[in-house]
C-alpha cells in the first residue's frame, strides 16, 4: 500500500519524532502552520475518523491517552488545538488518520 504515513510509522520514511509507543507515533509536521505543529498517527492504517470502528477504536483511545505526554514533550505548554481533517470537504490530504496538535502561540478563536 502506498501510504506515506504507514511508511513513516514503519521508519521507511524518516520523521522528526516526538513520541512513539506500540500504538502510535507523533512527529513534527513537515509544513508547520503554527510555531509547534505535531501530527499523531496510529500504527494501523485507518483512513480517517470516518473509518473508526469497534475493531480499531483502541488506536484512537491509545492516541488520546498519549496526547498529554506528546504535548508536554513537544513543548505545548500554553495549550493546544487538536484537529483531524476528515474527507474532501475538510481538505484531508493524507488518507491515514492523523491528529494535528497545534500551538506554541495564542491561536485565533475562529478558523475562518
Ligand atoms: P491533512 O491536510 O491531511 O489534514 O494533513 C496532512 C499533513 O501532513 C499536512 O499538514 C502536511 O504538511 C503533513 N505531511 C505530509 N507529508 C508529510 C511528510 O512526509 N512528513 C511530515 N512530517 N509531514 C507531512
Ligand atoms: Zn497508512
The set of long-range contacts for 34-37, using a CB threshold of 8 Å and a minimum separation of 24, is 34/102, 34/103, 34/104, 34/105, 34/107, 35/103, 35/104, 35/105, 36/74, 36/75, 36/76, 36/80, 36/101, 36/102, 36/103, 36/104, 37/100, 37/101, 37/102, 37/104
Nearest residue by C-alpha to atom 16 in ligand 1: 30
Residue ranges making up the domain that contains 99: 4-103
CATH of the domain at 23: 3.30.428.10
17 found inside a domain: yes
pLDDT digits (tens, 9 = 90+) for 56-109: 999 999 999 999 999 999 999 999 999 999 999 999 999 999 999 999 999 999
- Identify the pLDDT of residue 112: 59
Q: Which ligand is nearest to the CA of 85?
A: 1
Instruction: Note if 28 is an active site residue.
Output: no
27 found inside a domain: yes
Around ion ligand 2, residues with a beta carbon closer than 5 Å are 3, 5-6, 45, 96
pTM attached to this predicted model: 0.97
Spacing, Cα 74 to ligand 2 middle (Å)? 23
111 found inside a domain: no
110 found inside a domain: no
Amino acid at each position: 500500500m502506498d501510504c506515506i504515513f504507514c511508511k513513516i510509522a514503519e521508519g521507511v520514511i524518516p520523521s522528526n519524532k516526538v513520541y512513539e509507543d506500540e500504538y502510535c507515533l507523533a512527529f513534527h509536521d513537515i509544513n508547520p502552520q503554527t510555531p509547534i505543529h505535531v501530527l499523531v498517527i496510529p500504527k494501523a492504517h485507518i483512513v480517517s475518523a470516518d473509518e473508526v470502528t469497534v475493531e480499531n477504536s483502541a488506536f484512537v483511545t491509545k492516541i488520546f491517552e498519549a496526547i498529554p505526554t506528546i504535548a508536554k514533550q513537544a513543548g505545548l505548554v500554553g495549550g493546544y488545538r487538536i484537529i483531524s481533517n476528515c474527507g474532501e470537504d475538510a481538505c484531508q490530504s493524507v488518507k491515514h488518520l492523523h491528529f494535528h496538535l497545534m500551538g506554541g502561540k495564542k491561536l485565533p478563536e475562529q478558523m475562518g
